[in-house]
Structure formats: C-alpha cells, structure tokens
Amino acid sequence: MLQLRTRISTRAESAEFVETRRALCDDATMRVEAAVARAPVNYRTDEVLTPALQILIPLRGVFAWQLGASESLVTANHALFIHGGDVSRDRFVDPRPVEYLLVTPRLDALAAQPDSGAVEALVRGAHTRRVACSAAGLQRVASMLWHVSHDRTAVDPVELEETTARLWMEILRLGSDAPARSRRSPGKLVREAKEVIGAGRERLSLAQIAAQVGASPAYLTHAFRECEGISIAKYQRRLRLAQALAELPRAQDLTALALELGFSSHAHFSTAFRETYGETPSAYRARMRRR
C-alpha cells in the first residue's frame, strides 16, 4: 500500500520531484501558501491524502490532477477544489515548473462570519465542480500575493492582510457566480485540446488545435465553450495574460515580452491586459516594483 502524505508539508523532494512552499498567511480563518513544483514530463507524484478542503490556484505552468480513474488538466485559467478525504496524485505534462497558491480555509471560523452563506455555497458547488474556470479578478489578486511573497519585509502587513481578504472574496465569487456547466463530464476531446494548448506559450489557431485532436473546428468550439465556459481564443489569451502577470515585474522590454507571449504588438498586448485587469502592463509593472 502506498504511504499517504498530506499537502500540508512545506517541502517535498525526490530525485525527480521538488516542491517548495512559503506561508503567506496563517491565521484563524485560513492558511495561504505560495508554492513551486517541478518534475520531468509524465512524472506522477505519490498519492496524497488531503485532510481538509483546499483550493489550488495556479499562476504559471500546467499539470494533470488525478482522482481515482479521472484526470483533469489544470492551468493558470483554473482553480482546483480538493476535498477533505480526497486521495489524489499529480502528473506533470510540462518540464517547466508549476507555480501556484494553496489556500486552506478553516471552515469552522469562516462559518461564523457574515458571508457564511457564501462559504456554504462555495463548498456545495465545489463538490460538483472540482476544476473551475478562473476569473480575471482571481488571477490578478493571486499574482499580487505571489509577488509579495518574494519580499514580505517590504510590504505593509495591513496591505498583505487586505490582499489576502480580497483573494478569499474572489474565491467566494468564483463559487457563486461561475457559469452553469453541462451535466455531462468534460469529454476526452476537450481534455485533449487543453493538452495541445498546454501552458499557452505557443499561439495556436483553432484550425491547428482541431487538426491535432481530430475534430472539426465547429464541433470543437461548441464542446470547449460548453465545458470551459469561455471560447478557445479567450482561453489562450487569458493563459498568455496570466504569464504576463508572472513576468512583468522583472521584464525590461515590454514589446519583447508582448511578442514572446504571442501578441502582435505592444499596443495589442497593452489593450488586452488593460481590458482584462483594469490597468496597463507598464502601470502594473511599476506598482509591483514599488512594492
């Protein structure tokens, strides 16, 4: 029988798999950790027993989450809900590291707060939707917390607390406002399409994706929107913008970054970024550097 280990550890290493975590918040209501995991392609971790509800929010990278016989691809466009008692494992589908936040809410304490009804709705919804399509607001706040985690000494503790509270509100909003999903589970076709797209670094046309999964563009478009709640084009653009959130604080040349991420120009990149996150890339970079 495999030894079960919980996700509450701070560091796990083997010859091939390395995972490192930093605690950003650990109070009466929740624990929030910033983590990085790396392993070769198709490496499968040991089975993991999760003792309590956890929400995993990827910022960069892509991996497959396996629960029993089912497998779900998780990217920066998703939030993963893991329930207490789940025995799962991860499969790495990209050699680059996966960066993510891991939120462990303390439900007894949260149930006493004014938004307890929203917490109950989130828990109920999480039982039927393990992998949810993320929202721009959640991506933005999660990325802010991630960058703050690298130099907490330069951050006002109150600001860190407020940002963590915003993260939780975005998680609650995701649970209550998420688009309706089809009753049937996501098909093999959509899972294959997401594997082709991967982390979104390479810009692929609909025709290219459809050809690789052996489906017509029209049918793939319908199936993808039904399962993910957004179009393939928007899915890819959001992945590239999530990558931009991770790289902007250290980027020197915004035009070069825009082209590297598959945007046709700096203006195209800036417009898409502002429409999604409410500020220009240069303004976001300047604000994160001031922190």
Q: Going by C-beta distance under 8 Å and a sequence separation of 6 or more, which residues neighbour residue 103?
A: 30, 31, 32, 54, 55, 56, 57, 167, 168, 171
- Cβ–Cβ < 8 Å for 78, 134: yes
**Cα–Cα–Cα angle for 115, 106, 46, rounded to 5 degrees:** 130
Name the H helices within 129-265. 136-148, 157-177, 188-197, 206-213, 217-228, 232-247, 254-260
Instruction: For each of the domains in the chain, give its residue range(s) and CATH number, in order of start.
Output: 11-177 (2.60.120.10), 188-290 (1.10.10.60)
Task: Walk along the chain (291 residues) and give the pLDDT tens digit of each residue.
Answer: 233 434 444 445 566 899 999 999 898 889 999 999 999 999 999 999 999 999 999 999 999 999 999 999 999 999 999 998 999 999 999 999 999 999 999 988 887 766 667 788 888 877 777 899 998 999 999 998 888 766 655 566 767 787 888 899 899 888 764 444 433 344 788 989 999 998 887 778 888 888 888 887 878 888 888 888 888 888 999 999 999 999 999 999 999 999 999 888 999 999 999 999 999 999 999 999 887
Coil vs helix vs strand at 96: coil
Alpha carbon distance 148, 142 (integer Å): 10
For 136, the token pair is 């721009």
The distance between the two most distant Cα atoms of the chain, rounded to a whole number of Å, is: 56
DSSP category for residue 248 = G
- C-alpha span between 133 and 100 (Å, rounded): 15
